[in-house]
Chain A
Amino acid sequence: MSSIVRLIQNENMKIYRRPGTWVMIGLIIAAVLTAGIITNLSGSDESTDWRTNAQNTIQESEKILKDSAEGMPKAYKDSLKRDIALNEYRLDNNIPPLERGSIWSFMNNSTGIVVLISIFTIIIGAGIVAGEYSWGTIKLLLIRPASRTKILASKFIATLLFALFSLVILYISSFLIGGLLLGFESIDQPYLTYSNGEVTETSMALHFVIEYALASVDLLMMVTFAFMLSSIFRSSSLAIGLAIFLMFTGSQLTYILSQYDWVKYILFANTDLSVYFDGSPIVDSMTLGFSLVTLLVYLIVFLLLSWLLFTKRDVAA
C-alpha cells in the first residue's frame, strides 16, 4: 500500500538525521583536502625529463621479460607488456604521463578514497537492518501496511543512494580541490588505454567517471554482502567486520590462488573489472561477460538470502 518512494524517504531520514553520517561525508572531503595540500606542498617533479624515464622503463621491462619469462605469473608479464606499449606511444605522440601535482594525477590518486566510501557504505548498509533490531524499532516498523519486501528494498536502495551521494561528493570535491590547489592547466590532457596490444586516447573526465564506476563494483558487492550479513545475523558489528576484512584480504587471496582455474568463480577475482579495459584478468579464460554474470549471480544470491531471512523470520524479543 505505501509507496516505495516514501519508504526510501524514511530510510534517508534515518541515515542523514544522524550526525555520524555527516562525519563520514566530512571525512571524505577532509581526506581529499589533506591529499591536495600534501600534493601542493611537495610540488611537481618538472626537473626530471619524462622522456628519459619512459625509455628507462621500456628497457627495464624488456630486460625482465627476456631474462625471467619462465615461471613468471601471467598477470605480471602482461603488466610489463602494457608498460612498454604505453611508454612507446607516449614517446611517439609526445604525450607526457600524468605529472605529479596536476589536477588529473590528483584525481587519479583520489580514486583510492573510494575504499573509504566502501567502508562507510558498509557501515551504513550493515546498520540499516541490524540497527532497527538493536534499537527495538523493528516492531513498530513492521506493523504497518508495507510489506517486508518493500521495506527491505527501500533499505537497500537507500544504502546505494548513500554510496552514490558519497561518490558524487568525492568526484566534485577532488576536482575542485585539485583544481584550486594545483591549477586547472592540464585539464585537456587525454587518457591512454591499453587493451589487446593497442593504445587509444580518451577523455580524462570520462575516464575518471568510468574509473569511479569500476571502483564501485567492489563497493557494491561488499556492501550487498554486509547488507546480507546484517539481515542474517542482525548484528551490525559482525557484518561490518566481516565485510571489511574480506574487502581487504579477498584480492590477495585470489592472487595467491591464481594458478588454479577455479579461482575465477571466486567473487574477488571478478570485482576488478578494470582489467578488461586496462590490463589482463587473473585467469586467461575470463572475459568481461563472464565476470559480469558471476557478479550478478553473487548479487542475486546475497539479496535473496537477505530477503528470505528478513521476510520469513519471526521478530521475537
Chain B
Amino acid sequence: MSVEPIVQIRDLTKVIGKKTIIDHLSFDVYPGEVFGFLGPNGAGKTTTIRMMVGLMDMTEGEVLIDGTSIKTNFEDAIVKVGAIVENPEMYKFLTGYQNLIHYSRMMKGITKDRIQEVIKLVGLEGRINDKVKGYSLGMRQRLGLAQALLHRPKLLILDEPTNGLDPAGIREIRQYLRTLAREENVAVIVSSHLLSEIELMCDRIGIIQAGKIVDVQRVNDFIQNDTAVMVAFDVDPLESAVKAVKDTYPDREIEPSDRKLMMKMEHEMIPEVTAFLVEKGIRIYGIQTSVKTLEDVFLEVTGGEQVV
C-alpha cells in the first residue's frame, strides 16, 4: 500500500515487574481499512489498546497516530482518536445527552448540531434524554460509539464493539463501520474474540499471542493461503477405498475417519480421484470440500489455544 499509515506501532513493549506483557509489537493500520485485532484472552489486546490511547505508559517503543507520538505529544495525537476501551462505561446518573455534552466540552469545535448528527447516526434519538441508568447494554454500546465519533476521528478503536448487541444491531454496526471506513476514510481497529465477526467486518487481521504479533494478513488470504483442501468422499465400501487410494497416492495425507474417506488435495485433483474411485468399483454417494474457516486458521496459528 502506498498510502501513509494512520497508525504506526513500532516495537511496542510493556514490562510489568519482570513480566513482559507486550513484546516488541509492530504493525501499521491504514486509512479506510477495518483492522481486526485478534487473540486469545490474556494475549495483550487490551494492554496494547490502552498503550495506544495513553492510558498506560509504554516501557519501550512508539505509537504514532498520523505521525504524532502518543507518548511525547499526547494531546495532539489523541484528538485524532475515538475509542471505546472495554465496556462503554458512562455516567449512569446523567442522561445520554449530558454524557455527550460532557465529552464534547473536552474537545474543541463540537457543535450542538454535530451532537445531534451523531445521536441520529447511532439511532438513539428516542432515548437520548433518558438517564443512562436505564439503558440496555446495546444502547450503552451505541452511546459509546457516539462519544467516540463526536470529533470525527481519523482512527476509531473499538474493543468488542458488538458485545451485547442483538443480531440486527450487530449487522447495523458492522455496516456502519464499513461505510465509515470506505466513505470517510477512517481507519477502524476492532478487537474481538468472535472470529466470525472479524471475518465479516475486517479487511486485515493481526493475530496476537503472548504479547507478540503472530501474523498480519488480509482476511481473504488468511483463509485461502492453503491451496490444498480437505475433501470428504462418502463411499462404500470404505475400507477398500482407503486401501486403494493409499496404494495409488502414497504421498497424500489421509485423515482417519470411520464414515468417510478424508483426503487433502488441490481443487483440480478432485475429478481425478473421483474417476479413480469409480474405476475401482467403489460407489460414491457424495463429495464435500471443506473450506477452512478463519477459526481453523486461527487455531492453527495460535497453536490451538482456546479463543474465548
Contacts from A to B (Cβ < 8 Å): 1-2, 6-7, 9-10, 13-14, 17-19, 135-137, 139-147, 312, 314-317
Contacts from B to A (Cβ < 8 Å): 46, 50, 53-57, 74-76, 78-79, 81, 83-94, 98, 101-103, 105-108, 144, 147
The 11 listed contacts between A and B (C-beta, < 8 Å) are A2-B105, A2-B107, A7-B106, A13-B98, A135-B89, A140-B103, A143-B53, A145-B76, A145-B79, A314-B55, A317-B86
CB distance from A310 to the nearest CB of B (A): 13
Query: CA–CA, A144 to B105, complex, Å?
Result: 10
B75 x A147 contact (CB < 8 A)? yes
Residue of A139, A144, A146, A314 touching B89 (CB-CB under 8 A): A139
Provide the residues of chain B in CB contact with A316, threshold 8 Å.
50, 56
Interface centre among B57, B85, B86, B101 (most CB of A within 10 A): B85
Q: A136-B89, A137-B89 are in contact. List 12 more A-B contacts (CB 8 A).
A: A10-B102, A13-B98, A14-B102, A18-B93, A135-B89, A139-B86, A140-B103, A140-B147, A143-B55, A143-B78, A144-B106, A316-B56
Chain A residue with Cβ nearest B157 = A143
B94 x A315 contact (CB < 8 A)? no
CB distance from A11 to the nearest CB of B (A): 10
Chain B residue with Cβ nearest A139 = B85
Query: CA–CA, A19 to B133, complex, Å?
Result: 14
Provide the residues of chain A in CB contact with B53, threshold 8 Å.
143
B106 x A145 contact (CB < 8 A)? yes
Chain B residue with Cβ nearest A19 = B93
A140 x B89 contact (CB < 8 A)? yes
Chain B residue with Cβ nearest A316 = B56
Provide the residues of chain A in CB contact with B147, threshold 8 Å.
140
A146 x B106 contact (CB < 8 A)? yes
Query: CA–CA, A36 to B46, complex, Å?
Result: 57
Provide the residues of chain B in CB contact with A7, threshold 8 Å.
105-106
Residue of B75, B90, B98, B108 touching A17 (CB-CB under 8 A): B98
A136 x B91 contact (CB < 8 A)? no
Query: CA–CA, A309 to B230, complex, Å?
Result: 57
Chain B residue with Cβ nearest A6 = B105
Provide the residues of chain B in CB contact with A135, threshold 8 Å.
89, 91-92
